[in-house]
Structure 1
Amino acid sequence: MTWFKIDDTAYSHPKVITAGNAALGLWLRCGAYAAQHLTEGRIPGVIAGMFGTAPQAARLVRAGLWHAAEHTCPRCPVVPAGDFLMHDFLRYNPSRASVEGTRQREADRKRTGRKTQRTRREQPADPPPFGADPATDRDDSGPDSSPNSGESAGQGPASGPDGAGASGWSRPDPTRPGEGGGGSSESADRRGLRSTSSLCALPADWEPDDALLAWAAASGNLQRLGLDGMDAATAKWRTYRGAGPARTVQQWRLDWQQWITRERPEQPPAGRRLQAVPTGGPTRAEQHAAALQAALDQMNTTSNQEGTA
């Protein structure tokens, strides 16, 4: 997980005040999108249109929070026509290479740790020295021998502003426990992250969120099934799984992904032609899926053009 960083003085910045609250909502959502998808601040036009309106985007450009094509900012890269770029995004947020490098180092660290633990489990434990009794050979005279020795509860070193302790940190960057934060699942739950350990029934109106739709587009399942096929497969999955036992949130999501991967597009009967049936317009999930697919296609096209340039 990556983070879109906003410091605690942003509310009074002249550019933010000039843009206004409505445009700031577009800026925030697109900033989170750029951080998640590692676009280094580039916002595809279809994503901006999905999250906000053209007047809101224009206000962000006029305020200097965004750049459009043919901008003159010397610190920011060129913007393709129809897209936008968040001003000074890489000044406050990590680049794609930095995030991918951190993830690779973390994966290597975990792999090495698992290998070390496996080696230790396979080696026989050394026997205690002759005459030693682990149950009695303990030094109980140390300063931490009793929970009531030394400082009493609530009388430890005083914390500084904003919860700063003796270590001196007061405004840490938000980090994921698996990316150098070293936090536990308990602290993750306190930050409001979705718990994967509690069981829950499948909601009757469950729909795939943006992350699952992005996965469907990236894995090719969205192109293979189409929007209608994706909706039909999801409805079939809800009907089949709805009466089943409760699962964790993560298990439901993984099960939906496996179902979609196994799903095959329905073939029309021979001699019959499909006719378009007028409806009330695309659903929200269809709009999100179409926008994400268009953004991925546009990003791939831009990458190919840059590679051949």
Structure 2
Amino acid sequence: MPWFKVDDTFAMHEKVMAAGNSAIGLWVRAGAWSMQQLTDGFVPDHVLRVLGTPKERRLLVEVSLWDEAEGGISFRSWSERQPTKEQVEAARQAAAERQRHARERAKSRRESQRDDSVSHGPPDPTRPDPTPLPTEVDRAASAAKPKRATQRPAGFRPSAGHIALAQELGIDLRAEWQQFCDHHDARGSTFKSWPAALNTWIRNAAKFGRSRTAAGGTTPRQQADQDMFDRQMARAQAREAGVES
């Protein structure tokens, strides 16, 4: 059974807040319907009339969560965030194939046991399963494996915690977020925890007094602070990767 996915930053996303709770309720119900029917984000007019109101539909189009389509609407960037019909059907086919092989193996074992009972008497009922079960040590070792550092995930966005931290420190999160993305995308930075990296960026922005004028320029002192800020982030990235800076 496929699932309609909503990430953990969805609640505080600016488009969601602009649309309002009523329209977002329609968005979620329509997304679940589309996933159930495997329409790849298209919802026809007759379904929309049952699920919500024309006003809610207009709001979702205005905030760019939906696009108008012939005979209905389509979800913006569906294939980037949700499994497509092709992917769901391929997964179902793979699962069916695994079940078929499992049934064939079980049938083969039963036939082998019947052959053994004819030639050598009844099978040994105390024969243990040779497959060892995972121990607590095995599970702990598996859980302790370090995460691999990756480049910034496409769906990574500031969370409610990042927003609260920026407000507490008096930081313009919108401007800092753009700088954060530009800086690390240009460098090809990798982190094991991108949420932690953004927290560090916000705190360093407050620590070094990084600010921007209305015209977007910087003073020599601000430029020096920005250079120090960039060095600090580079050291944080080196520590994350386990490399001495």
Structure 2 length as normaliser, TM-score?
Answer: 0.49
Query: Where is the helix percentage greater, Structure 1 or Structure 2?
Result: 2
Structure 1 length as normaliser, TM-score?
Answer: 0.39
